[in-house]
Amino acid sequence: MLVSDYRHEVALDEPFRPLSAPAPVEKLDALTALALRMLDVPVPSDVDARRRLLRAVLTVRSPAPLDPELMAVLDALLGGERQQRLVGLPASVVVWRGDITRLMVDAIVNAANDALLGCFQPMHPCVDNAIHSAAGPRLREDCHRIMVLQGTPEATGTAKITRGYHLPASYVLHTVGPIVRGPLLLSHESSLASCYRSCLDLAASVPEIRTLAFCGVSTGIFGFPKRAAARIAVAEVRSWLGRNPGRFDRVVFVAFSAQDEVIYRELL
């Protein structure tokens, strides 16, 4: 399914306008407690426990519109948290180790599953969970709209795009990488290369995207060996940029661990 088939359904070209302004840091805990009460969830006494619980409740929630009053509270909370997590980067192709949800880039890449709805396991450490949690419930709703229109699971090696909502990034590219269970096959490598090409092609179709950050697609629970995955990622990005000089101002490889960072820096 082409982006033209769903861009209107997810209002891709409309700027995200939250219902509330970002809250200052001193009000974030009170907003967390208020959101839990509005969701009819008991409010823990511990501050960190309250935020973990709200994240878990939203993680398991099915894609459906929320009450506008609750959404206004979440907008203030998530917008305030966004202000605390912003990280900028220099130009060109770079490696950065850290949390992809903090990057001030135009678009980030999410390693999605074929349902494209995010991770439904509370506090699961995957990047899919982290991105949906930071972006807020509207991201899952957009992904649901896309999947209803498509009518089939997302194919491996393809990509879809949505707005980023409360992420510093304006857009999220969702791609399904190959699952490796056993020996690494040429088909796995071909599918992963297709993920990177699909994301670059799709991002290039949106003129506002000048900076793009990739997570390590398929290198988590999908089991793709990290060094082999990084080699493919770097090769595909370099090849694409060579064919399309000047299209992007910056491409970032986001390393989750120290080992990932070492691998990317060696390859670059």
Mean pLDDT of 73-102: 87
> Is the predicted pLDDT of residue 90 greater than 70, yes or no?
no
> Is the predicted pLDDT of residue 118 greater than 90, yes or no?
yes
What residues have CB less than 8 Å from 116, skipping those under 6 apart?
143, 146, 147, 153, 154, 160, 174, 176
Q: Using 50, 70 and 90 to split pLDDT, how confident is the model at 91?
A: low
Give the C-alpha distances (Å, rounded to integers) separating 37 from 31, 34, 53, 58, 121.
10, 5, 12, 13, 22
Question: What is the tens place of the pLDDT at every residue in 12-22?
Answer: 999 999 999 99
> Is the predicted pLDDT of residue 31 greater than 90, yes or no?
yes
What fold, for 3-267? Leucine Aminopeptidase, subunit E; domain 1 (3.40.220)
Mean pLDDT, all residues of the chain = 94
Which amino acid makes up residue 173? L
> Is the predicted pLDDT of residue 93 greater than 90, yes or no?
no
Q: Using 50, 70 and 90 to split pLDDT, how confident is the model at 87?
A: confident
DSSP 8-state class, residue 35: H
Domain map of the chain by residue range?
3-267
Enclosing H/E stretch for 262: helix 258-267
Question: What is the tens place of the pLDDT at every residue in 51-75?
Answer: 999 999 999 999 988 999 999 999 9
Residue labelled with tokens 């070209």: 13
Q: Using 50, 70 and 90 to split pLDDT, how confident is the model at 92?
A: confident
Question: What is the tens place of the pLDDT at every residue in 220-267?
Answer: 889 999 999 999 999 999 999 999 999 999 999 999 999 999 999 999
Q: Which of 257, 236, 10 is nearest to 116 (CA)?
A: 10
Q: Which of 85-89, 132-136, 149-153 has the lowest mean pLDDT?
A: 85-89
